[in-house]
Amino acid sequence: MAGEHIYKQFDAELEAVRSLVLQMGGLVEEQIVRSVEALVNGDEEIANQVIADDHRVNALDVTIDEQCTHIIARRQPTASDLRMVMAVIKTISDLERIGDKAGKIARLSKRIYGAGMSRPRFREIEVMSELVLEMLRKALDAFARLDVNTALEVSRADDKVDAEFKAVFRQLITFMMEDPRTISQSLDVMFVAKAVERIGDHAKNIAEYVIYMVKGKDVRHVSPEEMERHVQGGQ
């Protein structure tokens, strides 16, 4: 009876940690949306809010990490439970970095508008941000439901983000060659595009941790075909 009680407590602790991860994910999503809004609309106030709110993401990162450390120390989890705790630790690291990228976009937007840059060039950035937001939402959904098929969709979507980044890169190179006066501003936009592309990479990482949790397979650095075999195959 005592063993059953301890197991239920352990299960509740794991569930509480998973819930905090999803809360952190929701906050990071909001940071991305607002940072891109600040960029597209030239809204310095929103940019400042994004920068100021970064501490909330960092605080959740610390809280969840501490809880995971306590779970490992007290419960000494094994097998799938240990994989879940390790995946949570890795996931919050990627979420924290996504939050950093959102802050970077907000800071760059202030600099871009401070230099008097016009707005029309940001449509491509909006498209990229919509793609990475969808990746992040699906990755978090996969995490919540332990859904390896959704995780696989996220991994596949990263190629499209990379292609969009290359298109933006080529366009900005053309602008700079045609008018050297745009070099400084164009480089800032390029840094924004790179930050968005990196958000996609972090979302992909989170999806890969889900596959690790469920299948016990580390699918980092493997081909898409091999990853699919792990997902469709057994334990």
> By 3-state DSSP, what share of the chain in percent is helix, strand and coil, each rounded to 5?
90, 0, 10
Tokens 């009680």 belong to 5
Question: Measured between alpha carbons, how far is 138 from 211 in angstroms, rounded to an integer?
Answer: 13
- pLDDT for 48-72, tens place per residue? 999 999 999 999 999 999 999 999 9
Are 185 and 115 within 8 A, CB to CB? yes
- pLDDT for 131-144, tens place per residue? 999 999 999 999 99
Dihedral angle sign, alpha carbons of residues 67, 10, 8, 95: positive
Instruction: Give me the mean pLDDT over the 102-126 stretch.
Output: 81
pLDDT above 80 (res 159): yes
What pLDDT was estimated at residue 79? 87
CATH of 2-232, one of 3.40.980.10, 1.20.120.1080, 3.30.360.10, 1.20.58.220: 1.20.58.220
Question: Measured between alpha carbons, how far is 101 from 35 in angstroms, rounded to an integer?
Answer: 9
Q: What tokens were used for 205? A: 């990482």
- pLDDT for 170-198, tens place per residue? 999 998 999 898 888 889 999 999 999 99
What pLDDT was estimated at residue 123? 86
pLDDT above 70 (res 77): yes
Instruction: Give me the mean pLDDT over the 15-37 stretch.
Output: 97
Instruction: Please tell me which residue, 229 or 213, carries the higher pLDDT value.
Output: 213
CA 39 remoteness from chain centre: 19
Q: What tokens were used for 2? A: 């005592």
pLDDT above 80 (res 7): no
Instruction: Please tell me which residue, 140 or 233, carries the higher pLDDT value.
Output: 140
What pLDDT was estimated at residue 118? 57
List the chain domain ranges.
Answer: 2-232
Question: Measured between alpha carbons, how far is 78 from 159 in angstroms, rounded to an integer?
Answer: 35
What pLDDT was estimated at residue 202? 98
Tokens 């990263």 belong to 158
What pLDDT was estimated at residue 185? 87
Question: Measured between alpha carbons, how far is 144 from 219 in angstroms, rounded to an integer?
Answer: 19
**Dihedral Cα 233, 229, 166, 104, nearest 10 deg:** 30
Q: What tokens were used for 60? A: 């959740």
Q: What tokens were used for 5? A: 């009680």
